[in-house]
A and B are shown apart, each in its own frame.
Chain A
Amino acid sequence: MRAYAAGLPAPEFADPAWVTPVPLAEARVAIVTSAALHEAHDTGFTNDDTGFRVIDRGARDLVLGHWSPNFDRAGFAADLDVVFPIDRLEELAAAGRIGSVAPRHLSFAGNQEDTVSRIRLDSGPAAAALLTADAVDVVLLTPV
């Protein structure tokens, strides 16, 4: 599966942006995952979903809604932090290693069209606006 994914077309980013973050101990951190997680009451992902779902900081009733059968699912079933390390972030915040945990976290589906144009032009910027509204300084991106 890794070899297959390595052969997929990859978009190029000319002149990519670079943000110098605030010190980690002052940073508000959010998780953005591509595991297609969603809260149990929220709408599930379709198999060509280019949008995202919001996961509240305190939510733990999460569903793995990804449509690919090509990755381990039992790990998430046993321990959601192995995909979505929200409890680890809470611990790091309590210990003062990070400034704070963001109130909202985001989830996309990793299986995207080859051009990923909707994420680049539509749902990605919408996600950025939501995170900016929550004063997020640093995003941790986790795949599956």
Chain B
Amino acid sequence: MCVLAHVLEAHGIATVTLASVRPVAEAIRPPRALYCEFPLGRPLGKVGDPAFQTAVLEAAFALLDVPSGPVLADFPEVVELDATPLACTMPPRYDPTLPPAVDEARALRAAWERSRAARGRTSVGRVLPGERIDEIASAFAAIADGTPWKDAALPDNPVGCAHDLRDYYEEAALALADAPDAAVPGAIEAWYYDVTEAGRTVLAARKAMQDAGAPFPLWFYLAPGTR
């Protein structure tokens, strides 16, 4: 971002950068940057809070009035990550012959479809559409259970598969009726990896791939580096 700011400015366009990592902004020194200490992935700070988002934009655009630069300012309010998992009811086991993650993924289908319809968009589909997400869950379950990762019928790049599964769950979470804390940063991610069968299965598959000597980028990026 900070590099692009220099490039655009050199071509005659004034830029304002929302900076998410202050030392990077300090090093690259884009013409105008507003450092916002918000959870990574939420550069405008708060979900569903137009007034807060507008306040961030107003603070950023105010830097256009500074006569010379580079200028690096700090947005005064910090938004903290909260790793407390989202609290919501999970579907009961339906078909005990299936791996738990597959059964669970199928059971969340209605919630995911409601979510997609309500929002008019989905990020699922990098590898497979949401309607076929159980194929991805099945492949990761097989790896977690000891099937060599190359034999597990992952339909494409494992990382792309992992993104589809996570996006499916995180979008479904938005439509679970008893999930009022969906806007809390970190809550849905923690729910996915700490509570759901799918998230825990991906983490187990990731460990199995690491132990089997799979190429680093193929297992490491299946989940956040902090896990």
Interface residue ranges, A against B (CB under 8 Å)? 1-2, 4-8, 10-13, 16-21, 24, 27, 32, 34, 40, 44, 47, 60-65, 67-83, 85, 87-89, 91-92, 97-98, 108, 110, 112, 116, 119-120, 124-125, 127-129, 131-132, 136-144
Beyond A24-B65, A74-B189, A142-B43, list 20 extra A-B contacts (CB 8 Å): A6-B22, A10-B2, A13-B6, A13-B29, A20-B14, A47-B157, A61-B121, A69-B222, A69-B223, A69-B225, A74-B173, A76-B123, A77-B119, A78-B48, A78-B182, A81-B44, A83-B41, A97-B58, A110-B1, A139-B16
B81: which A residues are within 8 A, CB to CB? 72
Interchain pairs with CB closer than 8 A, number: 251
Please state if B54 and A92 are interface contacts (CB–CB under 8 Å): yes
B122 interface contact, C-beta 8 A: yes
Please state if B20 and A19 are interface contacts (CB–CB under 8 Å): no
B58: which A residues are within 8 A, CB to CB? 97
B17 and chain A: residue at smallest CB distance: A141
Please state if B47 and A75 are interface contacts (CB–CB under 8 Å): yes
With A64-B167, A72-B41, A74-B188: A6-B23 Cβ-Cβ less than 8 Å: yes
Q: Which of B201-227 contact A (CB under 8 A)?
A: 221-226
CA distance in complex: A76, B167 (Å)? 10
With A73-B189, A78-B47, A139-B15: A18-B9 Cβ-Cβ less than 8 Å: yes
Nearest-Cβ distance from residue B181 to partner chain A, whole angstroms? 11
Which residue of the partner chain, among A21, A72, A82, A108, contacts B44 with CB atoms under 8 Å? Answer: A82
A81: which B residues are within 8 A, CB to CB? 44, 50, 53
Please state if A21 and B20 are interface contacts (CB–CB under 8 Å): no
Nearest-Cβ distance from residue A50 to partner chain B, whole angstroms? 12
CA distance in complex: A35, B65 (Å)? 27
Please state if A88 and B44 are interface contacts (CB–CB under 8 Å): yes
Nearest-Cβ distance from residue A45 to partner chain B, whole angstroms? 9
A7: which B residues are within 8 A, CB to CB? 23
CA distance in complex: A29, B186 (Å)? 31
CA distance in complex: A119, B2 (Å)? 11
A141: which B residues are within 8 A, CB to CB? 1-2, 4-5, 15-18, 30
A4: which B residues are within 8 A, CB to CB? 225
Please state if A19 and B189 are interface contacts (CB–CB under 8 Å): no
Nearest-Cβ distance from residue B83 to partner chain A, whole angstroms? 11
Please state if A82 and B46 are interface contacts (CB–CB under 8 Å): yes
CA distance in complex: A89, B81 (Å)? 26
With A64-B167, A119-B7, A141-B17: A69-B224 Cβ-Cβ less than 8 Å: yes
Nearest-Cβ distance from residue A99 to partner chain B, whole angstroms? 12
